[in-house]
Amino acid sequence: MTLVIAGMRVPSNFHVFLNGEAVADCVEADDIAGYVIVTPRDERGRLIIEGECYAQQRKTGRVEFSVPLSTPAPHLVEHG
């Protein structure tokens, strides 16, 4: 699955949180409008299919994003 934020694809290490909780299987998120769209799973952990597509569920609340840095940002590195 590809996560889309503001119409742009984002890297897989990009994390989405809704009301402080990590969101799994997120396909769309908007921190300004305050919603995420996820593909829900059944009790066995399998993605739910409706018709010919994966089911989608919209959840609302406070949306936040987090991207782990693999290397320090240049302005944070000490020069000496």
Per-residue pLDDT of 28-72, as tens digits, reads 888 889 999 999 999 999 999 999 999 999 999 999 988 766 655
| Tokens at 74, concatenated | 């240049």
pLDDT at residue 11, as a whole number: 63
H or E stretch at 64 = strand 63-66
At 3-37, the pLDDT tens digits run 656 556 666 677 889 999 999 888 888 888 999 99
pTM here is 0.70
Q: Assign 26 to helix, strand or coil.
A: strand
